[in-house]
Structure 1
Amino acid sequence: MTAEQLLSACCAVSVCSIICVSNKASLVVVVLDSHQDRLPQCGGLVPVLVIDGQPVAESEATLDAIAELAPSLATPTPSKRQQWRDMLEQRLIPVGKAAVLNPSSKNMAALRVVIAEWEAKLRERPGKGHFLCGESLSIADVSAVPFWSRLQEEMDCVGAEEFPLTHEWLAACRAREAVRRTQMSSWWWWW
C-alpha cells in the first residue's frame, strides 16, 4: 500500500483495518464516540488511531504516528514538520479563527499579514516542489491543508496574484485524491 493510499484510507472511513507500508504494524482508525467504552484512556479526544493495540489520540499525534509508519509521508526532518506546525498553530489558526468569527477590518488585516508570512516562508524553502517540504505530500501538508482549505472557502483570502506560492501549494494539495476525499462541507469548523 502506498503512503497516499494509507492516508486516504485513514482519513476517508470511520473504522478500518489496514496493514501499514512497513507490514510491521496494523492500524485501526476508530470513531471514538461509538467506541468510548473500549478506549477510555483516550479521554474523549478524536481522532483515535490504534496501532498494534495502542491508541494514539488527537490529530497531530496520529499524523506523527502515520509518518513513522509511512516514511514517504515524513518530512525531511521532524524539525521541518514542527516549523510548519508551529506557524499554523501559533499564527494562522488564532488569527484565522478571529477573522472568521469577526471579519472586522482589523482582523482581516491581521489575517493578510499572517498569509504574507506563510508566503514568505514558502519562498524560503530550499529546493523545488509544490508542497511544504519538497516534491511530495507530507505530514506537514496534511496537517495544514484542512484549515487552509476551509479558510479559503470561507474568506477567499488566498489570491493567485497576491499570494502565488500559497495559492499554488493549496491547489497542489487539494488536487490530490486523498485530500479531496477528506474535505468537509462548507458549514463545518472544528473549533
Structure 2
Amino acid sequence: MYQVIGTTRSRAMRVLWMLEEIGAPYQHVAENPRSPGVVALNPAGKIPILIVDGTPVTDSTAILTYLADHHGTLTHPAGTLARARQDSLTQFLLDEFDAALWLAARHSFILPEEMRLAGIKNTLRWEFEQSQKVLVNRMGEGAYLMGDQMTVPDFILANCLSWALTAKFPITEHRLTDYLERMRARPAYQRALAR
C-alpha cells in the first residue's frame, strides 16, 4: 500500500487523484509543508511525498510518472513519439503554468514580507494568459489534453487550472474552462478531493 503525505490543497491532490484513477490502495496523511514529519522525509520540507516500500519519492511530477509507468496506465510507453509529446506537454505545463502560480504564491504569502514584490503578480497573470493561448493550440482533439487518452499532464493541468482560480488568475480560454469542468466532474477527482 502506498502512503501519500500532503494536503489536498497542494500538489498532493495530483497524486491522490491519480491513485484514485488507478484504483491502487493508499493511506493519506494530510501533513502541511515544512512540518516535522515532512522534513524528516524530505529535508526541503515540500509535499507531496509518496512512500513506496518504505522509500520516500518526492516531487509531484516524478511521483505521477512513477505511478503511471509502474501501473502501466495513464501514460504512453517510454521511447515512443507519443511519450515524447506527453513529456513535452508536461514540461510546458511545469514551466508556464505551475511556475507562474508558484512564483505568485511565493510573493503572496510564502516569502518574508520584506522580500515580496506585489507588482510581479500582474506580470505573471499576463504570462499565464499568454500560455493558455499557446496550450489550446497544442491540445489534441478529444476530452483530454492529448486527445482520447488521459495522461500524466492532465493531472498537472487540471490542478494548475484549479489553483489559478484560487489565486485569481483568470482562465481566458473557453476550451480550458470546459476541460477543467470535465476533469473536476470525474468520480476519482471527487473522491480525492473529499479526503
Deviation at 1:174, TM superposition (A): 1.0
C-alpha distance 177-86 of structure 1, shift in aligned 2 (>3 A):
same
User: Which residue, out of 164, 174, 178, partners 2:184?
Assistant: 174
The residue that corresponds to 1:150 in the other structure is 163
Partner Cα separation in structure 2 for residue 164 and residue 131 of structure 1: 14
Q: Tell me if structure 2 keeps the 8 A contact 1:32–1:47.
A: no
**TM value normalised by structure 1:** 0.60
Partner Cα separation in structure 1 for residue 30 and residue 169 of structure 2: 33
C-alpha distance 32-148 of structure 1, shift in aligned 2 (>3 A):
closer
- Identity over the aligned pairs, expressed in percent? 21
**TM value normalised by structure 2:** 0.59
Q: Tell me if structure 1 keeps the 8 A contact 2:145–2:153.
A: yes
How many correspondences in the alignment? 163
The residue that corresponds to 1:64 in the other structure is 65
Unaligned runs of 5+ in 2: 1-12, 77-81, 111-115
C-alpha distance 98-172 of structure 1, shift in aligned 2 (>3 A):
farther
The residue that corresponds to 1:83 in the other structure is 92
SS at match of 2:170: coil
Partner Cα separation in structure 1 for residue 41 and residue 122 of structure 2: 42
Partner Cα separation in structure 1 for residue 121 and residue 177 of structure 2: 18
Aligned-residue Cα RMSD (Å) equals 4.3
Deviations 1:111-169 (CA, angstroms, capped at 9, x unpaired): 542333232223222631232222233221212323321331452722xxx42122122
Partner Cα separation in structure 1 for residue 126 and residue 61 of structure 2: 25
Deviations 1:87-122 (CA, angstroms, capped at 9, x unpaired): 2233343247657999x7x66643542333232223
SS at match of 1:50: strand
1:31-70 matches, cutoff 5 A: 31=29, 36=37, 40=40, 42-43=42-43, 44-70=45-71
C-alpha distance 165-100 of structure 1, shift in aligned 2 (>3 A):
farther
Unaligned runs of 5+ in 1: 1-7, 186-191
SS at match of 1:55: strand
SS at match of 2:56: strand
User: Structure 2 counterpart of 1:82, which letter?
Assistant: Q
Partner Cα separation in structure 2 for residue 114 and residue 180 of structure 1: 30
SS at match of 1:130: coil
Partner Cα separation in structure 1 for residue 180 and residue 73 of structure 2: 20
Which structure is richer in relative contact order (CA contacts within 8 A, separation 6 or more)?
A: 2
Partner Cα separation in structure 1 for residue 101 and residue 167 of structure 2: 14
User: Structure 2 counterpart of 1:84, which letter?
Assistant: L
